[in-house]
Structure 1
Amino acid sequence: MSGHTIDPSLYRHRDAVPVSRALISVRDKTGLLELADALAAAGVEIVSTGSTASTIREAGHAVTDVSSVTGFPESLDGRVKTLHPAVHAGILADLRLESHERQLAELDIAAFELVVVNLYPFVETVASGADTAVVIENIDIGGPALVRAAAKNHANVAIAVSPASYPQIVKALTLGGTTLAQRQRLAGEAFAHTAAYDTAVAAYFAANVGVRAEHAASASASAPASAPDEEARVDFAPTLTLDAELQHTLRYGENAHQSAAIYATPGSHGIAQATQLHGKEMSYNNYVDADAALRAAYDFTEPAVAIIKHANPCGIAVASADAADPIADAHQRAHACDPVSAYGGVIAANRVVTRAMAETVKDIFTEVVIAPGFDPEALELLRTKKNIRLLELPAGYGRDAREVKQISGGLLVQDADRFDDFSSAGWTLVAGAEADAATRADLEFAWKASRAVKSNAILLASHGASVGVGMGQVNRVDSCHLAVDRAGERARGSVAASDAFFPFADGLQVLLDAGVRAVAQPGGSIRDDEVIAAAQAANVTMYFTGERHFFH
């Protein structure tokens, strides 16, 4: 349905619009009383709702309740307050038109020149883990209607959706009113605000409500993780809108001739929300590597450290059981995997960085250290290194449930690889003798750590630490050679994990010749019999995990 068409010659120009009447309805009370003080001092009539009205009234200012404007009480537990012609006509009247001015007079409705609204905390409610009923009650209806109405009528009305906008409103009161340019900017911010809000609501429904929950239950009951029921795939929304806020522009992108910026998704608790404690500005590549390092370190519940270079691990390790300082021990063991490649790398720890860990890091050229925190002595020591960047993760760090990757002309969306059953209890022994407890622990570590390696991925491990990594090769044989070469003598007696099956026995044979004593791999090749035969001939233990972990 198209809007009304009005003869442009009927419009009267308005630039500065004095504020004589304001509608205020906010959940976030930050700066509210300062704004109310300024409005009252300027003789502005304040119309308000619920707790906002109570807060302003308790501060000693006169307030007109919305119910006295509408002649209708707030009802349905506050679901209906401002959805009334007496409110919306006062916001939407275009007073550049004599006909609108005349109709307001006939209806005995006063115009608003300022609307101050912020919305129910939907994103925060979802992030808190609240149940569905509570989340639904935090979907704002009247608020977005007020915001959009005021923003549409910005020729006559200023709209403020954030306390950050209050100072300019206060200043405008002293200068005779808001300007058209100012109202246009505020309107743009308001429409962006409601668009982001609606996007968050749509994303919640797509990911958490109805079809997804039902199909997730049926899929878990009837289908293995490696082959999800087709019905479980129907929970992708027909349209996708990305909601992210600009944090800041970066010096450049992957290369110096590429512009770049970082955006943050509301409600997330990842690297985009990390606090930088020291060092020069983060680069695009720093963010990419640091996020990959976090992905690797936080795969483990034990104290763990991952060192990343160009999005691939130089080393991953968990702490020894008897380590005096577990996170320092994990770092030393991860660094020992490939000290040459670790030069200029990025370090992620899943525990607070201690003084002992800082002592080992300070003598290694490192671009970034990211962790859930830093002991004061560790922070003081690392701050003596001018160029190292220190990032502290937000509380509740976690990866987003879905991943989005841009391709030409569109986007690929998938559930994140959150498969977390790395226990060997469900593996199938296909060659050699059952592994003892220590070997099983190493195989489970290697299998988990291989998920952080770009495909084709081969990872050799010993005593909870990687000793050789082969990554990103176009065939698995080359990855095997690379892992063995990196490990050197440490390959003998180590265990190996492969992120996907061996298509032929030749790759496995490289590992067997190097002295690997046990292997974990998904299985599933049409030549599995040949691969199994090679392991049996070498009297090497091999398990099929039944799951792969490609990472491109």
Structure 2
Amino acid sequence: MSQEFRRAARALISVSDKTGLIDFARGLTTLGIELISTGGTHAALVEAGLKVVDVADVTGFPELMDGRVKTLHPKVHGGLLAIRENPEHEAAMLAHGIEPIDLLVVNLYPFQATIDAGADFDQCIENIDIGGPAMIRAASKNFNDVAVVVAIEDYAPLLAELEANGGATTLALRQRLAQKAFARTAVYDAAISNWFAEQIGADAPDFRAIGGKLALNLRYGENPHQQAAFYATGERRYGVSTARQLQGKQLSYNNIGDTDAAYELVAEFDPERTAAVAIIKHSNPCGVAEAATLEEAYRLALRCDPVSAFGGVVAVNRKLDAKAAAEIVQIFTEVIIAPDADEAAIEIVAAKKNLRLLIAGGLPDPRATGLFVRPVAGGFLAQGRDNAVVDDMDLRVVTKREPTEAEWSDLTFAFRVAKHVKSNAIVYARSGATVGVGAGQMSRVDSTRIAAIKAAEAARQAGLPESLALRSVVASDAFFPFADGVETAIEAGATALIQPGGSLRDAEVIAAADAAGVAMVFTGVRHFRH
């Protein structure tokens, strides 16, 4: 038989997840393939009535050290690594009683699931697989002769190929499986190394690995000429990666980015306290509001910028109900994401065939830690998630006038939103809703002007006689470097401002606020989002 085809005579199976195991193993035995197995896998196969050799009978050694040592043996690794038809390798196998292993089936100890379950340090350590990755890498290196399977979804394709080729695999399949196997161990090791770094407080370890599993193969990226795919890292954070898509077209690259931005923003609002809605376009909020109901919150959010909301993404922080769904579908919307949805809401959305409805299963914790990665030429930047929440900040009034109770509420609301607006970020808010947003400008005063223009336009669209910026508050993601930004906000009608503070000209900025009789609060925390 040529190198293109390799007959599989012996298979070693050692799996943690036993889904589909029995049917798969039975299919192998039907093809005349001898089975070798370990521990719990061996027990499951024997219980199913299958003939299987215990790996201890192959190696001549029992499992040692609570199962830590069972496959780390020359008779296993020699069987995987030996190059067929290589005289020297054949002689070594003959001299040491090593028989070839032609097929390796391994899925690894559930390390990520152990972390997600909140296991203690020692339990996590015990769920680090050693023998599995070692065998996977050995078999993958010897792909010319050995096929390696690391994912349950590959059981059926492998069996189909074996059946089609008289028990043999093709080189093309073995290469594809080897690439996948190397990537699998890399992702596994990345999860372990990043968890370990967090456990010992290593914020900048010498080596940093990032890994993910393909969740969705996308038609293209930000633009049609760019290739793209969505990978899930395994982090248990509610959002697009955990969501079930109930209907609509396949998500695009831009849909996923905007949906993530919308859901992270709306999660800033505690659903036990208030209903909240965020409408996102190009990763920036064009409207955010909180109210007693999702229906009312959506109306207020939409009022902020109804033109930009067309073709946007909507995120809600509570179970989507029929009244809110009926409002949302009145204009063209790309995606709705919610923790859950009732049947009536699902039915309403179903009338819009192309509208995607995602059920995430919960809200992400805005205070949780995590890793953010950004590629640059020749490397990547890594930083912790911005998990600062305004409720936890030491807010300090720096002007002569204190904010009123209503202004306090709007100030904290606006600062929550500003955290999720591209810098330089300015947010005008009134009565629990954004009324103007200025995002991504090179000058903070320009962002302030743009947000004021948006507020005036929103009032015109709503048929109101005065700008929505009148009697509003303003949040800035970073300090005002000069008094001009504050003066622009005051001219637009703002009565209170919230900002981090820390400028060399803070005294000048505070004096401008005092001269106009407006209140100003310093947070001491900056929310740059570039």
> TM-score, structure 1 length as denominator?
0.87
Distance in 2, matches of 1:132 and 1:123, equals: 13
Distance in 2, matches of 1:296 and 1:43, equals: 57
Matching of residue 459 in structure 1 with residue 415 in structure 2: no
Identity %: 49
Equivalent residue runs for 1:87-236 within 5 Å = 87-174=76-163, 175-206=166-197, 208-212=198-202, 235-236=203-204
Distance in 2, matches of 1:276 and 1:430, equals: 48
**Structure 1 stretches lacking a partner, 5+ long:** 1-11, 213-234
| 8 A contact 1:352–1:371 mirrored in 2 | yes
Equivalent residue runs for 1:486-501 within 5 Å = 486-488=454-456, 489-501=467-479
Compared CA separation, residues 41 and 83, structure 1 to 2 (3 A) = same
Matching of residue 306 in structure 1 with residue 278 in structure 2: yes
Deviation at 1:33, TM superposition (A): 0.6
The count of aligned residue pairs is 512
| 8 A contact 1:460–1:483 mirrored in 2 | yes
Compared CA separation, residues 412 and 63, structure 1 to 2 (3 A) = same
1:412 maps to 381
Q: Deviations over 1:139-184 (max 9, x none)?
A: 1111111111222223332222122222244345541422333323
Q: Which one of 279, 288, 299 corresponds to residue 316 of structure 1?
A: 288
| 8 A contact 2:436–2:469 mirrored in 1 | yes
SS of alignment partner, residue 6 of structure 2: coil
Deviation at 1:317, TM superposition (A): 1.0
1:476 maps to 444
Distance in 2, matches of 1:17 and 1:387, equals: 46
| 8 A contact 1:443–1:495 mirrored in 2 | yes
Compared CA separation, residues 345 and 170, structure 1 to 2 (3 A) = closer
Q: Which one of 251, 254, 279 corresponds to residue 222 of structure 2?
A: 254
Identify the range of structure 1 (309-318 vs 467-476) with the bigger mean alpha-carbon deviation.
Answer: 467-476
SS of alignment partner, residue 452 of structure 1: coil
Distance in 1, matches of 2:157 and 2:221, equals: 34
1:275 maps to 244
1:365 maps to 332
Matching of residue 383 in structure 1 with residue 364 in structure 2: no
Q: Deviations over 1:303-334 (max 9, x none)?
A: 21111122221111112xxx3xx222221121
Distance in 1, matches of 2:157 and 2:45, equals: 20
Compared CA separation, residues 345 and 109, structure 1 to 2 (3 A) = closer
Compared CA separation, residues 163 and 518, structure 1 to 2 (3 A) = same
Compared CA separation, residues 188 and 354, structure 1 to 2 (3 A) = same
Deviation at 1:288, TM superposition (A): 2.3
Matching of residue 513 in structure 1 with residue 482 in structure 2: no
Compared CA separation, residues 282 and 15, structure 1 to 2 (3 A) = closer
Deviation at 1:29, TM superposition (A): 0.6
Structure 2 letter corresponding to 1:133: D
SS of alignment partner, residue 211 of structure 1: coil
Equivalent residue runs for 1:3-22 within 5 Å = 14-22=3-11
Distance in 2, matches of 1:367 and 1:166, equals: 36
Deviation at 1:397, TM superposition (A): 4.1
Q: Which one of 258, 273, 278 corresponds to residue 289 of structure 1?
A: 258
SS of alignment partner, residue 490 of structure 1: coil
**Structure 2 stretches lacking a partner, 5+ long:** 457-466
| 8 A contact 2:339–2:363 mirrored in 1 | no
Compared CA separation, residues 172 and 98, structure 1 to 2 (3 A) = farther
SS of alignment partner, residue 178 of structure 1: strand
1:440 maps to 408
Q: Deviations over 1:251-273 (max 9, x none)?
A: 33323343333233234543244
| 8 A contact 2:11–2:102 mirrored in 1 | yes
Deviation at 1:398, TM superposition (A): 5.7
SS of alignment partner, residue 374 of structure 1: coil
Structure 2 letter corresponding to 1:548: R
SS of alignment partner, residue 25 of structure 1: strand
| 8 A contact 2:402–2:519 mirrored in 1 | yes
Deviation at 1:396, TM superposition (A): 6.1
SS of alignment partner, residue 403 of structure 1: strand
Structure 2 letter corresponding to 1:459: V
| 8 A contact 2:8–2:103 mirrored in 1 | yes
Q: Which one of 340, 357, 372 corresponds to residue 307 of structure 2?
A: 340
Distance in 1, matches of 2:226 and 2:157, equals: 35
Structure 1 letter corresponding to 2:257: V
Deviation at 1:65, TM superposition (A): 1.6
Distance in 1, matches of 2:226 and 2:4, equals: 40
CA RMSD of aligned residues (A): 2.2
Q: Deviations over 1:462-495 (max 9, x none)?
A: 2211122222222222222222222233222222
Compared CA separation, residues 190 and 351, structure 1 to 2 (3 A) = same
SS of alignment partner, residue 387 of structure 2: coil
Deviation at 1:528, TM superposition (A): 1.3
SS of alignment partner, residue 402 of structure 2: coil
Q: Deviations over 1:350-400 (max 9, x none)?
A: 222110101111211222211222221111111212332222225564687
Compared CA separation, residues 398 and 423, structure 1 to 2 (3 A) = closer
Structure 2 letter corresponding to 1:258: Q
| 8 A contact 2:286–2:304 mirrored in 1 | yes
Distance in 2, matches of 1:408 and 1:354, equals: 46
Compared CA separation, residues 341 and 434, structure 1 to 2 (3 A) = same
Structure 2 letter corresponding to 1:404: V
> TM-score, structure 2 length as denominator?
0.90
Structure 2 letter corresponding to 1:526: L
Distance in 2, matches of 1:172 and 1:477, equals: 65
Distance in 1, matches of 2:152 and 2:438, equals: 52
Deviation at 1:549, TM superposition (A): 1.0
SS of alignment partner, residue 431 of structure 1: coil
SS of alignment partner, residue 99 of structure 1: helix
| 8 A contact 1:82–1:142 mirrored in 2 | yes
Compared CA separation, residues 151 and 317, structure 1 to 2 (3 A) = same
Equivalent residue runs for 1:34-113 within 5 Å = 34-113=23-102
Structure 2 letter corresponding to 1:544: F
Moved over 6 A (4+): none
Compared CA separation, residues 93 and 478, structure 1 to 2 (3 A) = closer
Distance in 2, matches of 1:353 and 1:509, equals: 40
